[in-house]
Structure 1
Amino acid sequence: MNLTHVVSTAMKSFRQNIPDYVGAGIVDISTGMLLAVDTVDNHPREILDILAAATADLFQGRTVLQIEELWKQTRGSNDNRRYFREILVNSENLVHLFMRSKTNPDIVAAIICTQNVNIGMLFAQARVAMRELEGS
């Protein structure tokens, strides 16, 4: 199955299954490109592009990479694993869940919901959709 089809399927799953869904995007953090986006409202392209850049910074900004490197040194590890897999951000009006793919750590899904969302259900449904994205 090609990446375009897998991404499209995951985006549909996010919209259909995530409670209090507002929007979602899939970002390739190695390039900072937004691979797909879906929102219930229209948003200016500039905001969506900044979302992609901010997502890349969350997972591989300079200080984040320093933290990961320090953990590797502390634990005596020399693998290339990434430690940060899921990041939840509560803004004034929304909940933003960022999830890194286990099979392709350069792929991150950003899922946005209203503040009414049940956080447990958000994580549960988002993890199911991510498994579809990962092909497992």
Structure 2
Amino acid sequence: MSLDKVLGAAQAEIPECVAAGYVDMVSGLLLGIRTVDSHPSEVLDLVAAATGDLFQGRNVVEIEKLFDRSRGIEGRAGHYFNEIVVFSTNLLHIFIRSRKNPDHAAVFVTRASANIGMVLVRSRASMAAAEAAV
């Protein structure tokens, strides 16, 4: 299934989902996006950049290195931050790092009234489908 179709399916399956996107954090590109409203390209570009900052920003990388060092692990053992949930005034933002390609992440945005448990379960399932599509 194409990434666009996967994101459309995610938007339909995740409760109260208003947007679903897939980001390549190395290039900073939004590889796919589905929203209920149209948004200026500047906003969408910032979503991709912000996703990269959340998972691979300088301070996050330093924290991961410190975790490794405190556990006696030499070199990169993997990433500690794989899912990030952000509660904003009216929305719930779910950021999930791909397990198949740690440089990719999905972003799912729902209304704040959505059931967080169902949103997480359905977002995780949608991430597996998105990984398969890329």
TM bucket normalised to smaller? over 0.9
Q: Give the deviation of 1:10 after TM superposition.
A: 2.5
SS at match of 1:87: strand
Match of 2:90 in 1: 93
Instruction: Choose which of 39, 49, 60 in structure 2 pairs with 1:53.
Output: 49
Contact 1:10 1:130 in 2 (8 A): no
Q: Give the deviation of 1:8 after TM superposition.
A: 2.4
Q: How does 1:1-136 map to 2 (within 5 A)?
A: 5-77=1-73, 78-135=75-132
Q: Which runs of 5+ in 2 are unaligned?
A: none
Contact 2:4 2:34 in 1 (8 A): no
TM-score norm. by structure 1 comes to: 0.91
Contact 1:9 1:133 in 2 (8 A): no
TM-score norm. by structure 2 comes to: 0.92
Q: Give the deviation of 1:80 after TM superposition.
A: 4.2
Q: Which runs of 5+ in 1 are unaligned?
A: none
Aligned length: 132
SS at match of 1:109: strand
Report the identity percentage: 44
State the distance in 1 between where 2:2 and 2:99 align. Answer: 15
Which segment is superposed worse, 51-60 or 10-19? 10-19
Q: Give the deviation of 1:133 after TM superposition.
A: 2.0
Q: Give the deviation of 1:34 after TM superposition.
A: 0.6
